[in-house]
Amino acid sequence: MNEIIRGDVQNVQAGTSLDPQDWSELRTLAHRMLDDAIDSIAKVRERPVWQPAPDSIRARFKADVPREATDLGDVYGEFSDSIAPYATGNVHPGFMGWVHGGGTAVGMLAEMLAAGLNANLGGRDHMPIEVERQIAGWMRELFGFPQGASGIFVTGTSTANLMAVLVARTSALGTLARQHGIGNDGALLTAYTSKAAHGCIAKAMDIAGLGTDALRQIDVDAEHRIDISALRRQIAIDREIGFKPFLVVASAGTVNIGAIDDLAELAAFCREEGIWFHVDGAFGALAILSPELAPLLAGIELADSIALDFHKWGQVPYDAGFLMVRDGEKHRQAFAQPAAYLRREARGLAAGSHWPCDFGPDLSRGFRALKTWFTLKTFGTDRLGAMIARTCALAKYLETRVLAEPRLELLAPVNLNIVCFRYRANDEVNREIVADIQESGVAAPSSTTLDGKSAIRAAIANHRTDVRDIDALVAAVLEFGARRSGDGLIETEAPPLAAP
């Protein structure tokens, strides 16, 4: 009887294992995929930065559930024809929208290796977790954090900021709040950030159950940095009427213009007041790698927690966000939860504590650390720092070009790698210019609003971006601006400015 069942199972397995029947066929196709992927990075300049997907292509993605098998070569063909040409475009040096890193071939290869290992970094005793721990150690060293600080990979800074809010909340209310809920004390908690902070901070307050009303958005100065005297006043008022200020979130690189709050003063103030001091360093924190830029971050070493992304200035392929908490035990207390099936043992695969799942909401987690580890080791932090400084030099070059061109207006100081400017025409024209340029495939800036004016925003976050890409952007703004506003197009050559 047992023999019959065993035979049946074996027969079924032959048809259900997902490994290929013919490994050599798979290998040939895999090599082609890898060659194509490398070519697509090496020849990125030959393509438009971005192109919209035609309706006919989108329609293919409305097909029914694929109940039958499709040949891998055909699926790959569909990827090559219908997906790859219509990606975001951030690999391209002309991409300057939002804050997107360009990735590297090294990061791509590491991601492939990570997929091969298929490691689950929620916990257990294996080397991939040691890689993540090593990166946490490197970050502690770079940011001057103590030995007891914890570090964990997450999707991105939105999640890292949310987790920081949760850690600060648990620290303020005590761990019992995790059991009883935030209760009356929680309803009195108030957090502070600037009006220039990223929207994910308000979203984090919402998700954390504290509500966006409990986030005080403080005015900024002319440099777009939080007005610390206004912050002090607001906190004093809130205390006076019975609120419990528990968190200040500083920006180390505001999303709109890259302004860096006075981190040292904020750290000292938060310490005086007994308030958790979190730094949103989504892209700006990695300026720590550049000796010229690092002084701008003075005080970050005093933060209670820092959120940052390796996928932006760090050029690690998406996604690779990171949260670091000075007091690792407080971090753990905000998330750790015992479970019989996750028991830690003295030996065997379940050995070792603590596990990454003790430091965040995720149990199953991929190996984001590997592509980051490859990137940091292969290029070295000095070279990454030099690349980051160069993107700032390119932003300065763009600023100079804008200031030299009477039809353009600079809208904000250039602090790091972001330039906000506009064509001298109304808001609508400026938004049209951005869409025209994106659709032209020449460059991809994004738009924002600054002091009520529509801005063309160029964030130079891609290591491939060069002077010619900046010149191409300026030429495109002038050309589309002239067309949209009905001005005559005046031929402009890039003036002989000192290019970085």
Ligand X SMILES: Cc1ncc(COP(=O)(O)O)c(C=O)c1O
309 binds ligand X (CB under 6 A): yes
Site for ligand X in 86-115 (CB under 6 A): 98-99
* Other CB atoms within 10 Å distance of the CB of residue 178: 17
The CA distance from 220 to 301, in Å, is 23
177 is a contact residue toward ligand X (CB under 6 A) = no
- Contacting residues for 349 by C-beta, under 8 A, at least 6 apart: 124, 125, 126
Tokens of 163: 């987790």
* CA 88 – CA 303 distance, rounded (Å): 34
Of 190, 251, 315, 400, the residue at the interface with ligand X (CB under 6 A) is: 251
Strands of 276-280's sheet in order across: 150-154, 321-325, 305-309, 276-280, 244-251, 189-194, 215-218
User: In the bound complex, what is the minimum distance in angstroms from residue 98's beta carbon to ligand X?
Assistant: 6
Q: Is 321 in the site for ligand X (CB under 6 A)?
A: yes
Name the residue nearer to ligand X (CB basis): 318 or 379: 318
Q: How far is the CB of 278 from ligand X (least distance, A)?
A: 11
Smallest gap from Cβ 419 to ligand X, in A, equals 15
- Tell me: does residue 334 bind ligand X (CB under 6 A): no
Task: Tell me if 194 contacts ligand X by CB under 6 A.
Answer: no
Give 493's DSSP letter.
Answer: P
- Does 388 participate in binding ligand X (rule CB under 6 A)? no
442 binds ligand X (CB under 6 A): no
395 lies in the binding site for ligand X (CB under 6 A): no
Q: Which of 89, 128, 156, 356 binds ligand X (CB under 6 A)?
A: 156
Residues 6 or more apart in contact with residue 443 via CB below 8 angstroms: 49, 94, 95, 96, 437, 469, 472, 473, 476
Task: Tokens 């019975």: give the residue.
Answer: 242
- In whole angstroms, what separates CA 63 from the centre of its chain? 32
User: Is residue 246 within a helix (H) or strand (E), and if so which, with residue range?
Assistant: strand 244-251
Residue 258 binds ligand X, judged by CB under 6 A = no
Cα(97)–Cα(461) distance, rounded to whole angstroms?
A: 9
**Residue number, 98 or 138, with CB nearest to ligand X:** 98
**318 binding ligand X? (CB under 6 A):** no
Candidate residues 50, 283, 374, 421; the one interacting with ligand X per rule CB under 6 A: 283
Please provide residue 462's backbone torsions phi and psi, each rounded to the nearest 5 degrees. Answer: -110, 125
> Could you tell me which stretch among 76-84, 118-126, 153-161, 415-423 binds ligand X (CB under 6 A)?
153-161
Q: Does 287 bind ligand X (CB under 6 A)?
A: no
* 255 counts as binding ligand X under rule CB under 6 A: yes
**C-beta of 310 vs 423, nearer to ligand X:** 310
Of 465, 463, 466, which is closest to residue 105 (Cα–Cα)? 463
Q: How many residues bind ligand X (CB under 6 A)?
A: 15
Q: Which residue, 158 or 170, has its beta carbon nearer to ligand X?
A: 158
Site of interaction with ligand X (CB under 6 A): 98-99, 156-158, 198, 200, 251, 253, 255, 280, 282-283, 309, 321
